[in-house]
Structure 1
Amino acid sequence: MKLYNIDHSKQSINYEPIQTTTINKTIKSGNNLFISLLEVNPIQGTFPIDEFIGYNLEFSTMNRKNFDLDTLGLLTSGHPQSIVYGDFDFPTFIIQKNAPNNILYGSCQKPHGKNQNVFPSADQSIEENFSTIKKRPNSLFLMGDQIYADDVADPIFPVVSKWSQALIGEDKRGLYSVDRRLQTTPFRKAIDRINGRQYTLENISHLTSNSAHNHLIRYSEYMTMYLLTLGPTLWENVEIPSFDDLVKNDNYYFIYPDNKKNKRNHKKERKKYNKRFNTEQKELANYVNTLSSVRRVLANTPTYMIFDDHDITDDWNISREWKKDVYQSPLGRYIVTNGLTAYWLVQAWGNDPDTFTPYANKIRYYLNRYLVTARFDEEWEKHLLSFHSWSFVAPTNPRSLFLDIRTMRRYDIEPQPLRIGRYIGEGNNAAQLISRRGWNRISSTLEKSNWRYHDPIILVSPTPLYGIGLIESFLNKFVYPFRLLGLPVNYNLDFEAWKYNGKGFNLFLQQLAKWNPQTCIILSGDVHYASAVKSKVTFTNKRELNIHQFTSSPIHNMSFSGLWGLLLKIVIWFNAQKRKRRTIHRYCDNFDRLQINSEKLELKKRYKWHEEIKYLTTSRGSIIETKNNIGLLQLTKNQMKNKLITAKVNPNKGIQ
């Protein structure tokens, strides 16, 4: 790897080579897939701070042929596949310390999501400021749902199947040994056909996604989906067969077979799938056209990622019952293990090399065995399912602490009353998204990062601490109870809120009080809208904590569409007008219940803390943005500025 210190002026650009040593740590992740982590160190001194650093990657083959990024056609300025900006010769990045901390942040990028992918707009914002240190984004935070393992479009399924075999090369028949039932005709026939996995996953693995008809199962499929979602290379020269050709070649699974007895139902079913296929194909084509922008942003911006549920499966670890059902199922454990192994390689290792590199030899060993048996050993499965060190600290200034809210939960045993229509009963409480033990682990991780108490801090929570009350209340009353009861609900805004469990919410704030940061910023995604909230929390010891939360979601999975979306947006708009004009007073009583006060809290009441919440408006006067968006947070010593980037429409060029 070659690095250059770049001096960019109006008159010229100078590239000064930086003398470095490079350690290449490569893991063979498939028969034709290798994941490399490069550790690069300067031979003398330290790397330049708050300056542009350019880089080029050099490769050599078994027959000693050498090539680099330029050989691959990636360094030609102005070329559609170029990964350079402006008149730079190389992709560049910034090691930020004293310069403004400019963070792009977002979540939820689904290939067949509604409306336009917003990554090209983020790409354009970097292009416009490519040579301006103070304005250019120097970090990218992807805060969950980098892939949608449980919601795979019909047209992408054959592409995943093709490339997973070419890249990984596992024996597909190995899956049948996971559960004997998979060897029987109905399951074996359906599982590798488009639309053939819903019943299997519901009844054998006990997963709860209502879009699981093409759910990823094998490790090879998870790895391939990352490559198809985050870059354009695998899409080059790919021709997706037509719906009719797929049906003709027996690649589609139909509930009703095409025979005389089921002719009418089969015809209706085929019409339904044909319509879905055509819609998804258009959405997918639009998305694929944006992937060169995705790659260029990733190539020029230090990127940190944390999972949410869809990276593995919908509702991942949502309740004690979910964990019991799924992890007692061999197929359930198989799927989650495969998803976590892919996450380890593609996301976690680069986030925190010091934590994950010591496991490199272990994962090499188990991957080699997987390529023979198409199944990970029980020891690796147990290791991943009990691993709790996914949280990490990104070396930004101020430090950024990424929270794992999926694997360190606590499930309270006390029942909560449930009323759904005429049904009255008891159900489980929502989970504490991070248990007390989990917070202790996270605090230890933070302390090891050279962060000191009272230093400013950025917290990355995949789901917001503060949501929009109207939406949260709707979910809490009409959606979340069904999920806790284990019933599938077809609802695009599926999300879990901190406030659903008062103990968990209180633990979050109490942990912040212990750290006592000078400035506390929370960045979040997940909820399919963007918002900004400011809260002043006062504890019983009179200590005050000021929290600024910025939420950006989705990058490409707009949910507020159609008539229902329009009606909800109207209701939210009226609700927002009231919230813009007032401060919300809330307190936590001694039973960890979050209570709203119409006016400022009377100090006679017993409470653990009280807070004043203000929802901040966007430039358009609303407290939420429902279009696809990505946030840009700009931090200096004296100021923070949040901007939402949405898809830009040019009447002559369409969506940019």
Structure 2
Amino acid sequence: MPPESDVLMPITAVTPTAAQADLPLVLAGPLLRRMESQRLVLWLVGSRSLALTLQLSHGDASAPQRLSLTGDSCQVIQIGEQAFIHLIDLQLATPLPCDVQIDYDLLIEQSGQAAQGIADWAPHLLYNGGTQVNFVLRAQLDHILHGSCRKPHHPAADGLLCADHLLAEAHPPEQRPALLLMSGDQVYADDVSGPMLRAIHQVIERLGLFGEQLEGAVVDDSEALYRHPASYYQRAQLLPELKSNETLRERFFGGVEKPIFTTSSADNHLVTCAEVLAMYLLVWSPVPWTLLDSEMPPLTSDEVSRYQAEREHIEAFRGGLGQVARALAHMPTLMIFDDHDITDDWNLSAQWEETAYGHPFSKRIIGNALIAYLLCQGWGNNPDVFAEPLQAIQVMSAGRNARNQLGCAAQDDLIDQLLSFRQWQFTLPTSPTLVVLDTRTRRWRSERSLKRPSGLLDWEALCELQQALLDQSSAIIVSAAPMFGVKLIEAVQKIFSWAGHPLMVDAENWMAHRGAARVMMNIFRHSRTPGNYVILSGDVHYSFVYEVLIRQRKRGPQLWQITSSGLKNEFPPRLLDWFDRLNRWLYAPWSPLNWLTKRRRMQVTPRIPSRSKAGERLWNGAGLGQVFFNKQGQPSAIYQLNADGSPAVAFVDDRDKAPATAGEPSAVPATAKGDV
């Protein structure tokens, strides 16, 4: 049995094994995560446990500061024979300065060798021939980038490249973005291309990622899963042939047909914890791709054609990963999950929960994605709250059997713990206050029907939101799904929900649950909650901006719903054009339909995309959102940076001129304002 020190271990210089010696020292990262003047959090994955020293320097410092990362300042979790996640969480006695460039380096100590810095082991992270990477701690959140929905095999370009292009330009430190906020679907565990799944399996084998035993499937363990003929494009067949599993097969593994919006494909759904962990390495770093060959798995003739078509998109995605990794090494990044990080329609209704958690195999699939999310995303958001889950991971890993498979009972116990975990959300004491919501695990289940959509936050979570907002002058709220969406699309979702088919249209909006919608509106009306709210969202695969005024409260509050989606995903263009046009006709300011919505006590004014041709309010195109704030926490300029390289789109009030951007003329679309 492996010792516990294999999992959460002290950092000491070790002699690599023969297998490790053939691997790069660092497989992914560093990613800058939660960064404050007296606290720095960085994430990286090494092929061994690394002895690290952090070097910091800035203009006011007489000499670089070297900090040995030992003990609690660098925790290491082993996820494979040659794979170790490192979370650097460094508390500083002396605050770092704000709004100045701080250069940093991570020096790797090895026995009998000179220390290697980032320029040695990750030169692709350096800009313009520099020798070190850097970051800027902003005193105020006056410039933010945000986005969601990054599907590797989508034909669109990668929106995270926009962040790299922005950072590559010479900007004074005080003009750098304060944060990159990823508001969901950073990975697609439920929609995986054949070439990506093949890469995942090669990474698992090359790094010796830990296996596991499986219950409730036609295979006994992960190794049998990877070898099974149904492992590619046919994973629905991995469920045993039982009548009781038909609902599970339809709703979970087979994907849900969505004729209104999209067709969901789950035939390569990730199953094991190792598969999801390997996916994270492959979407955030170019290094693991260098360990792979181009060999195709055994496939049918039809599958070969699909595989080859998908490979073209995956190769394009892979080609930009060096730039993506460079941006993530230079800018603090915070993240929260949405459904595709785990599985499509995750916790959409009480009936979905009963079906998915009632079977050991689907529960394990969901739990594995949550374990990987904790280690690769959640941990870096708020390290303080994960002591107990990390201890459970230690127990699970220490219980590996002779075949290096995780302890089965301990893995199930960990999953039970994570499914009831209530601290995925987090708040930053910034200016403005930043509140990132968990809209997936704390659902307000419908009391009228198990089939009806659940509210995105339950009563207790909404009360916690109100407490976080009390006596704040302004706030930025990150909600994966828009709080104020497109009325027509919400109406379509409501019709399908009434008919008992909410899964067909992703009926996940804040207004779909009467109780949650009412409490949310009461929070905004509260006299002690902020006067200015900015709500950053993704999820929907198109971008839009609404300015919202609640009529029943004196002097506000003012709300801005700013949605940017997707990073590498788009809505079907013709369908979105029709939704946009019909929404403007049916919900014009004079339309009586406005009085049938839960927003009738609000004035909702759309901002118009500056490149709108006929008054469109929705912008369809992969890219990255960019928001500038004034000192009152109000958005002063809102853009969508386009991944295809076309000029940025400014969202403008039709009474004003569009904010100026480099290379883009002002545009003032003339459209009627009013409720939308």
TM-score (norm 1): 0.79
1:55 aligns with 2:95: no
Q: Is the 8 A contact 2:389 2:414 kept in 1?
A: no
Cα deviation per residue 1:388-412 (whole Å; 9 max; x = unaligned)?
1110013542121111011111111
In structure 1, what is the equivalent of residue 638 of structure 2?
642
Q: Is the 8 A contact 1:151 1:214 kept in 2?
A: yes
What's the offset of the Cα at 1:121?
Answer: 2.2
Cα deviation per residue 1:573-592 (whole Å; 9 max; x = unaligned)?
5346659984989989xxxx
In structure 2, what is the equivalent of residue 454 of structure 1?
472
What's the offset of the Cα at 1:331?
Answer: 0.7
In structure 1, what is the equivalent of residue 626 of structure 2?
632
1:465 aligns with 2:483: yes
In structure 2, what is the equivalent of residue 532 of structure 1?
545
In structure 2, what is the equivalent of residue 233 of structure 1?
287
Unaligned runs of 5+ in 1: 9-13, 75-80, 255-269, 416-426, 598-609, 652-656
Q: Is the 8 A contact 1:103 1:634 kept in 2?
A: yes
Aligned residue pairs: how many? 564
Q: Map of 1:312-331 to 2, 5 A cutoff?
A: 312-331=342-361
Q: Measure, in 1, the Cα distance between the counterparts of 2:188 and 2:428.
A: 24
- Aligned residue for 1:615, secondary structure, equals strand
Q: Is the 8 A contact 2:587 2:593 kept in 1?
A: no
Q: Is the 8 A contact 1:627 1:646 kept in 2?
A: yes
Q: Is the 8 A contact 1:114 1:559 kept in 2?
A: no
1:518 aligns with 2:531: yes
Q: Measure, in 1, the Cα distance between the counterparts of 2:498 and 2:134.
A: 44
1:156 aligns with 2:192: no
Q: Measure, in 1, the Cα distance between the counterparts of 2:337 and 2:471.
A: 27
Q: Map of 1:404-553 to 2, 5 A cutoff?
A: 404-415=438-449, 428-443=451-466, 446=468, 453-478=471-496, 483-484=501-502, 489=504, 494=506, 496-514=508-526, 516-539=529-552, 542=554, 544-553=556-565
One-letter code of the match for 1:402? V
1:38 aligns with 2:88: yes
- Aligned residue for 1:544, secondary structure, equals coil
Select which of 565, 589, 608 maps to 1:617.
Answer: 608
| 1:378–1:156 distance in 2 versus 1, CA, 3 Å | closer
Q: Measure, in 2, the Cα distance between the counterparts of 1:189 and 1:167.
A: 17
Q: Map of 1:134-153 to 2, 5 A cutoff?
A: 134-153=174-193
Q: Is the 8 A contact 2:487 2:587 kept in 1?
A: no
What's the offset of the Cα at 1:615?
Answer: 0.9
In structure 1, what is the equivalent of residue 233 of structure 2?
195
- Aligned residue for 2:104, secondary structure, equals strand
Q: Measure, in 2, the Cα distance between the counterparts of 1:464 and 1:472.
A: 11
One-letter code of the match for 2:610? S
What's the offset of the Cα at 1:19?
Answer: 5.7
Identity %: 25
Q: Measure, in 2, the Cα distance between the counterparts of 1:305 and 1:239.
A: 31
| 1:62–1:432 distance in 2 versus 1, CA, 3 Å | farther
One-letter code of the match for 1:519? N
Q: Map of 1:358-397 to 2, 5 A cutoff?
A: 359-369=389-399, 371-373=404-406, 375=408, 376-397=410-431
In structure 2, what is the equivalent of residue 217 of structure 1?
271
Q: Measure, in 1, the Cα distance between the counterparts of 2:451 and 2:248.
A: 22
Q: Is the 8 A contact 2:433 2:472 kept in 1?
A: no
- Aligned residue for 1:412, secondary structure, equals coil
Superposition CA RMSD, Å: 3.1
What's the offset of the Cα at 1:182?
Answer: 3.5
Q: Measure, in 1, the Cα distance between the counterparts of 2:112 and 2:395.
A: 26
What's the offset of the Cα at 1:238?
Answer: 2.6
In structure 2, what is the equivalent of residue 106 of structure 1?
147
| 1:570–1:353 distance in 2 versus 1, CA, 3 Å | closer
Q: Measure, in 1, the Cα distance between the counterparts of 2:217 and 2:547.
A: 54
Unaligned runs of 5+ in 2: 1-52, 240-244, 257-264, 648-676
What's the offset of the Cα at 1:437?
Answer: 1.4
Q: Measure, in 2, the Cα distance between the counterparts of 1:406 and 1:649.
A: 33
- Aligned residue for 1:199, secondary structure, equals helix
Q: Measure, in 2, the Cα distance between the counterparts of 1:428 and 1:543.
A: 40
Q: Is the 8 A contact 1:205 1:331 kept in 2?
A: no
One-letter code of the match for 1:2? L
Select which of 75, 86, 95 maps to 2:137.
Answer: 95
Q: Is the 8 A contact 2:497 2:507 kept in 1?
A: no
What's the offset of the Cα at 1:339?
Answer: 0.8
Q: Is the 8 A contact 1:109 1:555 kept in 2?
A: yes
What's the offset of the Cα at 1:197?
Answer: 0.4
One-letter code of the match for 1:97? A
Q: Measure, in 2, the Cα distance between the counterparts of 1:215 and 1:158.
A: 13
Cα deviation per residue 1:367-407 (whole Å; 9 max; x = unaligned)?
33255446343321221111111100135421211110111
One-letter code of the match for 1:329? H
| 1:95–1:179 distance in 2 versus 1, CA, 3 Å | same
- Aligned residue for 1:66, secondary structure, equals strand
Q: Is the 8 A contact 1:585 1:613 kept in 2?
A: no
TM-score (norm 2): 0.76
Q: Measure, in 2, the Cα distance between the counterparts of 1:190 and 1:204.
A: 23
Q: Measure, in 2, the Cα distance between the counterparts of 1:500 and 1:280.
A: 36
